[in-house]
Amino acid sequence: MKDAQGRSTRLRVLVVDDENANRTIVADIIRDQGHDVDVAASGDAAVEKLQRGSWDLLLSDIRMPGMDGVALLEAARRLHPQLTVILMTAYATVSSAVEAMKKGAFDYLQKPFGKDDLVAHVRRVAERTRLLRENRSLRASLGAREAPKILGESPVIVTMRNQIERVARSPSDVLVTGESGTGKELVARALHFEGAHAGGPFVAVNCAAIAEGLAESELFGHKKGAFTHATSDRAGRFEQADGGTLFLDEISAMPAVLQPKLLRVLQERVVERVGSGDTREVDVRVVAASNRNLREMVAQGAFREDLFHRLNVLEINVPTLRERRDDIAPLTRVFCERAATRCGLPAPTPTPELIAALERYDFPGNVRELEHLMERLVVLADSDVLQLEDLPPHIIQMSGAETTSGAPPAHAAMEGPWSPEALLGQGPISLTDVEERLLREAIRLSNGNLSEAARRLGISYKTMRYRARKFAIGPDAPD
């Protein structure tokens, strides 16, 4: 179907009606308008189809045995919040349709309705869907183009940025390697927007998140009827990325059976949809990423050697955060400000002691761990300054930081009869028991003052209060 300006908007429509004749007539009219249509004879059957795929329009009768149209509306909106729903209703249930519109239905059709009325409603949905798609595409494009630059001025990051600039000029495929959380997708986006394909789409695929049985269809598309649930033709990710960049994240998880097919596409730049003998040319730059050592996987027989060499035309290794400790301070401040903006909170200022502790911590989760940590600290902050004591205990311990001037170490309250040796000498004891005894002793030595007890243990007041309540000890304990 085309609008007044000749723009095509093809909808995926699910028609639900327990009356076979009405279901068939409605589906045929919509199909004649150029849309992809599937049908269901009950609300339960419709929910199953909604769970398996994505839809633009749900057109359902209200009065059906079992799950009625209103209940289906509520289930559909839970599964697909943006789904457009039109209900078909007889005169006697108009009030139900009006009530359903308050719950999110787009409109309703009163039976008996004519072909022109149905077509007009579907055209309204098509126009609405076109605008939504354009808005989503525009937001995605703007979001991608306004994505933050690769931050940092450490020598390894400066070297990597220079490498990205050189590699981006080449049309060759690229392999991006590095530990989880280092920012491999950010590198892939930089390669895209600095290269010749910048005007095309950037399509990201997490290979580890695709079910093995659906991987071929996901990447290469399928023809209607190719398998049980293939109710319409579908373009795969290679076709969606035509003219742009396809980012294959966690390429090491690519199923072995699919690796030779991927190799053929990379070599010939043609795809063949599942169930179709036709091939389609694609102009796609492929950027693959892996947090595993593909060379070792090749040696172990877990990854095809020819595919590895085809992907590894150019390689960029993303350094870990512990290899760029000079960048931790500026990244901490940037992530703090971003989290505050996102959450609508004032941005607290990290103290030099907190940053020094972060610079000594090894960050196994790399930049992603630091970003999530700062969001957590911003949300939980009870002042405009982030203190060392606000950090999680494991980071304080692993960084070897002194929490407060003159404060005893976290194990100080366990000296004498509370020492680890004394406790273990009493026989089996759980870590929970040790924690409770330590808290009780710290509160006792602090005369019930939770702030002082927190200082003694090297934890924040919030953590101390939470744990005291957990064990029902201290001044805030319930009666």
Answer whether 12-141 and 155-319 agree in fold. Answer: yes
The CATH label, of 3.60.21.10, 3.40.50.150, 1.10.760.10, 1.10.8.60, for the domain at 321-401 is 1.10.8.60
pLDDT digits (tens, 9 = 90+) for 346-378: 889 999 999 999 999 999 999 999 999 999 999
Confidence of residue 430 (pLDDT cuts 50, 70, 90): low
Q: What is the pLDDT of residue 147?
A: 43
In the chain, pLDDT over 90 holds for what percent of residues?
Answer: 43
Cβ pair 73, 103 in contact under 8 A? yes
Q: Is the pLDDT of residue 20 over 60?
A: yes
Give per-residue pLDDT as tens, 461-477: 777 877 787 777 766 55
CATH number, span 155-319: 3.40.50.300
pLDDT at 8: 56
- Of 212-226, 251-265, 296-310, 391-405, the least confident: 391-405
Nearest to 419 by CA among 401, 407, 434: 434
Q: Residue 122: CB partners within 8 Å, gap ≥ 6? A: 1, 11, 13, 30, 33, 35, 57
Q: Is 265 exposed, middle or buried (0-12, 13-18, 19+ CB in 10 A)?
A: buried
Q: In this predicted structure, what is the pLDDT of residue 468?
A: 80
Average pLDDT over residues 282-294: 94
Q: Give the per-residue pLDDT at 156.
A: 94
Domain boundaries, the chain: 12-141, 155-319, 321-401, 409-479
Token pair for 255 = 């199923």
Task: State the pairing for strand pair 174-177/285-290.
Answer: parallel
Average pLDDT (410-427) is 48
- Return the pLDDT at 426: 53
What pLDDT score was predicted for residue 319? Answer: 96
CA distance 248 to 74: 35
What does the pLDDT look like over 127-164, one tens digit per residue? 888 876 775 565 555 444 544 488 999 999 999 999 99
Tell me the per-residue pLDDT of 248-264, one tens digit each, with 9 for 90 and over: 999 999 999 899 999 99
CATH code linked to domain 12-141: 3.40.50.2300
Mean pLDDT, residues 194-202: 86
Q: Which CATH number fits the domain 409-479, given the four candidates 1.10.3210, 3.30.70, 1.10.110, 1.10.10? A: 1.10.10
